[in-house]
Amino acid sequence: MTDVDDLTDDIFDKIRAYIYDRAKISLGDNKRELVRARFGKVIRQRSMSGFHEYFNWMVKDDTGEAFREVMNAISTNLTSFFRENQHFQFLASTVIPYVAKNPGSRVGGKIRLRGWSAGCSTGEEVYSMCMTICENVPHLDAWDIRLLATDIDTEVVAHGQRGLYLKDRLQDVPTATIKRFFDPAKDNKGKPAFQVRSEVREMVAFRHLNLFSKWPFKHKFDFIFCRNVMIYFDRPTQESLVGNYYNVLNNGGYLFIGHSESLNGIKHSFDYSQPTIYLKH
Ligand SMILES: C[S@@+](CC[C@H](N)C(=O)[O-])C[C@H]1O[C@@H](n2cnc3c(N)ncnc32)[C@H](O)[C@@H]1O
């Protein structure tokens, strides 16, 4: 029998500390019911007696399974295609033309473009980048384009990799865009869905990555989207993350943050370009 009423102050604080230490996500006092609901589900699935048993298992586990499960349970994955569309317009109007003209982007006879969706959730953000690029790059063959999409939640990464979305997730995507970039499909319950075409999926590498683990990148990026992710972090964490983004961008590269986010009050080396868009000179 599961008893999720045994979420004592002590266990709640220890779970919060576990999550903060590893993923830097700050859970305020008001997140207690969220923790109860999200973990209640996994505790029941594991047929454990309650939070005490779950916590004891979680801290002893050294296989990575507990960390994965905790992060999958606690992460908030809200996203949509062409969310905060001005960013995709800026990609088309400014980033792509800059890279096309920049002699530094010519590598091996092609124009190299590298982008990163950091905190990609189920992939709508990175596929919106792909569609924007395909619609605004005149000769795709002349380009070497690779996008990276990473998230701490393994389930959303797997979803993104598959690129399958229920029909109502595409309501903000123009019909012509759907026709060009998606194939009609069904989900595993037989509901109408669309799958991103393989040639678009091939532009993206989805990876499981905690933003606070070591970054394994060989190349720098021309743009990074880290939108609606930093809201979960405290200021010192945001500051160090923004500094790390600066270091992995090419000169002339851009950082995009969410519309409700700001770098005000954070020490950083970016130039302000537009609200929520920052340039590395
Ligand atoms: C609200 S979603 C944002 C999705 C997308 N960027 C957008 O704006 O539509 C936030 C994502 O950040 C991820 N996330 C949170 N903390 C993270 C961390 N420490 N490392 C990597 N991803 C993290 C969550 O798993 C979640 O999928």
Residue 16 confidence (pLDDT): 96
Domain with CATH 3.40.50.150 in the chain: 86-279
C-beta of residue 105 within 8 angstroms of C-beta of residue 67: no
pLDDT (tens digit per residue) in 212-269? 999 999 999 999 999 999 999 999 999 999 999 999 999 999 999 999 999 999 999 9
pLDDT (tens digit per residue) in 90-128? 999 999 999 999 999 999 999 999 999 999 999 999 999
Q: What are the structure tokens assigned to 265, written together?
A: 């009050």
Q: Name the nearest CA neighbour of 100 among 127, 130, 136.
A: 136
Strands (E), 93-203: 106-107, 110-118, 143-151, 164-166, 182-186, 192-196
Ligand 1 center–CA 114 separation, angstroms? 20
Cβ–ligand 1 contact at 76 (below 6 Å): yes
Mean pLDDT of 156-164: 98
Ligand 1 center–CA 60 separation, angstroms? 26
Cβ–ligand 1 contact at 72 (below 6 Å): no
Which single residue is written with the structure tokens 């669309």? 194
Residue 138 confidence (pLDDT): 87
Residue nearest to atom 24 of ligand 1 (CA): 75
What ligand 1 atom has the least distance to the C-alpha of 156?
27
**Fold category of 86-279 in CATH:** Rossmann fold (3.40.50)
Cβ–ligand 1 contact at 79 (below 6 Å): yes
Residue 52 confidence (pLDDT): 94
Domain with CATH 1.10.155.10 in the chain: 4-74
Residue 2 confidence (pLDDT): 73
Ligand 1 center–CA 104 separation, angstroms? 31
Residue 48 confidence (pLDDT): 95
Q: Residue 273's Cα: distance from chain center in Å?
A: 22
CATH code of the region 4-74: 1.10.155.10
